[in-house]
Amino acid sequence: MKLISEQRLSQILGALPANARVIASGNFATPHTLLRLADQAMASFRLHMLNAQPGIPDRDGISYESAFVGAGMRRHPRLNYVPSRLSLVPVLFRDHFKPDVVLLNASSVRGGKVSLGTEVNVLPAAIEAARANGGLVIAQANAAMPYTFGDAEISLEDIDYLVEVDEALAQKPEHPSTDAALSIGDRITAMVADGSTLQLGIGAIPDAVVRNLAAKRGLRVWTEMFSDGVLALEQAGALDRDRQITASFMFGSQELYDWANLNENVRMLRTETTNNPANIASQNQMTSINTALQIDLYDQANASHVRGDIYSGFGGSTDFIVGALHSPGGKSFMALSSWHAKAKVSTIVPRITEYVTSFQHSHVVTEQGVADCFGHSENEQAKNLIEQAAHPDARAELWAAAKQMNLVG
């Protein structure tokens, strides 16, 4: 590892081949300093990020790649969407999308290492792919990044160049919960048993679930990501203190980041470990809670496309749905509001016309009720979805469609 100035790094980046592939820390750990230097020094490059947020470089000469599209790349004319379950993105880096350079937002140096802090995810695989194929690994040693353990720790020997920065981390804004989200949260919480292992996504519904779990005991966390709700459960005594919190990335408040810093009870692991369905299935009473845009009468979910355009991607939901169903006592919840307020349409539809993201969920939960799905015939699934999950204004149309589809008599 060589500690260098921004000026020297600009020279190094400028010497990279035209249209080089740049893989950068994604989600809410964007390495803004490194991306600014790349933007200034490189005439053209392919920027590969997961769930990229606004504020990334955007001009002619820069194209985007992503297996999970965030707001910073969504609906962009130069976006190349790469369909992949999150657990398989490391395979993409190894065999198909080999990086020329990896840009990391890491912690300050500690004991010959830096930590990836809040964002481990697919980055260890990207580093390995770069090392195996002659690419560069460049990190900004960020004083604001918490030092976390597990696969987050990266030896300085695996980093070519380091630039010291002090760059604030993104923090999760507070959003008031809707009545529908609170109702869904109440319904799911009632079905979570003591001693369950939680996978919680991000958004109003997972937030509504986790805020009601404080009275539970012995809960464990094996998840792709977590936010302040897990900290609240830890403070409430709801978590099994003999089990480490296992995740791949986090996003939340400064309080969350301060708590995670040097916290040996927080274990940040690479995606192919956290999202391996076999590892998920081995967790006690694995409880997977995800959201979707639409569910059809065959219990198929679309969580990735809107009107034919990519909105997000598969993410890790498919990994956790499969793992949870194989876990003894496990449950897979798919949660959504029954009615899309802006479009004024039902989110329970006869048949998905977009792209199927997942299927076979234990329960589909809306503010209307809980529809039991897995373990029932397709006729019973359709009946339960219409009667228990669909909005009352949509039920007559859904019954008529179900009859045409021979799902009900």
> For residue 199, what is the DSSP state?
E
In terms of C-beta distances under 8 Å and separation of at least 24 residues, what long-range contacts does 12-17 make, across chains too? 12/136, 12/161, 13/37, 13/38, 13/41, 13/42, 13/101, 14/41, 14/42, 16/42, 16/45, 16/100, 16/101, 16/136, 17/100
- Which residue, among 294, 303, 25, 236, has the nearest Cα to 139 in the 3D structure? 25
Residues 141, 110 contacting (CB under 8 angstroms): no
DSSP string over 49-82:
-SSPPTTS--STTEEEEESS--TTTTT-TTEEE-
- Which residue, among 199, 197, 194, has the nearest Cα to 214 in the 3D structure? 194
Q: Which of 65, 119, 153, 224 is catalytic?
A: 224
- Which residue, among 290, 408, 312, has the nearest Cα to 359 in the 3D structure? 290
234 is annotated as an active-site residue: no
Strands (E), 336-384: 339-340, 345-346, 348-349, 358-359, 363-366, 369-372
Residue 25 phi/psi, 5-degree rounding, is: -50, 135
Length of the chain: 409
> For residue 305, what is the DSSP state?
E
In 3-state terms, what secondary structure has residue 361? coil
Strands (E), 184-254: 197-200, 220-221, 225-226, 245-247, 249-250
Residues with a catalytic annotation lie at 224
